Amino acid sequence: MTPAKRAPPPSREALRAATVGLSASALLILGIYVGSRRFKDFDVALVPYAAATVFAAFALGYRYAIWLGRPPTKRYFQQSLAIFFTRGKILANTLGLARAVYGSLFTQRFIRERSTLRWLAHFCIMWGCLLAAAVTFPLSFGWIRFETPRDSQEMYEAFVFGVRVFRCRLDSPLASLMFNALVVSAVLVLVGIFLSLYRRSRDRGVLAVQEASSDLLPLILLFAISATGVLLTISTHFMNGFNYTFLSQFHAVTVILTLLYIPFGKFFHIVQRPTQIGVQLYKQEGAAGEQAKCARCGEPFASALQVGDLKRVQAELGIRYGLAGGGHYQDVCPPCRRKNLALLQDGMWGAVRRGGDPESKES
């Protein structure tokens, strides 16, 4: 698949994006440095993970900046920020935002409306991944550390940024929950993957449009991570460490590959999706304001805010919808555009019947 061919990012854009990417990496490295108390709590065995994350941060920052630089994206971004920070409305907007975050990001109602199976699969994968990320990132950055204190082998202590936050007994439910958080996340992800593959193998519409590289590769990567993760636990607890070294290396490779893939493939939607919230705010603002009326039928068809922004975006993109008579094609509502096309064809045949010129603009 190819993107629209107009407006390739000029080199200035690329430079700006690279700066954003580098800043993201630098911030992360600084975060690791400070959070691990000058690398005191940093586990050297986890360096490859941290390094892959630093690279992913660069690529994510880069791609995000390029994406935000596209005229329509930039316009929405600026407008939603402006709307959010309108004086006197910040409180109401924050409430609206919280509602939108709950509906769109937390419960993901819009996916359930498509199909329950799809929603369930996505829900399992999403929460599994988020849980795993919440555990592993801080660990590999040295932000969290666990120790058994010198005075007691039965106890377990957790440190966040070097500060002890709690102590619990090794055989307590809390400790076993902590030890098994990654197993729980892996099982969630595996269930999600199976549901997703089941749907993808049965739905003929999906079968026709899905692509191995963009739709199946992410599932394969997640499967590899989760399966090797679960096998590691099985090897430790039930098989006396059978093949442990091989498994842990393999697991590391799958995780690192996935980290490197995040900015480039389907996982990019994780950082892209929150814009939906901004757009919801924008739509609310538009609906409450003036409405644009169609130049043909006179009916309101969209918010004046959006039509105005679209015209601006079109001008930036070089889309020239200005009409000969001084009007603007963007002011014609979609149903009138469709009707007009048929009328136009009708007029051409009419002109031919009358022995005139079908290309005449006066029909």
| Candidate residues 37, 200, 293, 339; the one interacting with other proteins per rule CB under 8 A | 339
Candidates 246, 244, 259, 251; CA nearest to 227 is 251
Q: Applying CB under 8 A, does 273 fall inside the site for other proteins?
A: yes
Q: Applying CB under 8 A, does 355 fall inside the site for other proteins?
A: no
* Interface with other proteins: number of residues (CB under 8 A): 82
Q: Applying CB under 8 A, does 5 fall inside the site for other proteins?
A: yes
Stretch that binds other proteins, among 43-51, 158-166, 220-228, 310-318 (CB under 8 A): 310-318
- 289 φ, ψ to 5°? -95, -160
Alpha carbons 32 and 265: distance in angstroms, whole number: 26
Positions 26 through 45 that interact with other proteins (CB under 8 A):
none
Q: Applying CB under 8 A, does 212 fall inside the site for other proteins?
A: no
Q: Applying CB under 8 A, does 359 fall inside the site for other proteins?
A: yes
CA pseudo-torsion sign 113, 114, 117, 118: negative
Alpha carbons 229 and 129: distance in angstroms, whole number: 13
| Candidate residues 172, 275, 284, 291; the one interacting with other proteins per rule CB under 8 A | 275
Question: In the sheet that 155-160 helps form, which strands lie side by side, from edge to edge?
Answer: 144-147, 155-160, 163-169
Alpha carbons 269 and 304: distance in angstroms, whole number: 29
Stretch that binds other proteins, among 46-54, 135-143, 153-161, 319-327 (CB under 8 A): 319-327
What token pair was written down for 128? 């599994």
Positions 282 through 301 that interact with other proteins (CB under 8 A):
282-283, 295-298, 301
Stretch that binds other proteins, among 26-34, 91-99, 205-213, 245-253 (CB under 8 A): 205-213
Positions 64 through 83 that interact with other proteins (CB under 8 A):
67, 70, 72-73, 75-76
Alpha carbons 41 and 33: distance in angstroms, whole number: 10
Binding mask 154-193 for other proteins (x = CB under 8 A): ----------------------------------------
Alpha carbons 212 and 243: distance in angstroms, whole number: 31
What token pair was written down for 88? 């006197």
| Candidate residues 266, 284, 291, 293; the one interacting with other proteins per rule CB under 8 A | 266
Q: How far is the CB of 348 from other proteins (least distance, A)?
A: 5
CB 279 within 8 A of CB 75: no
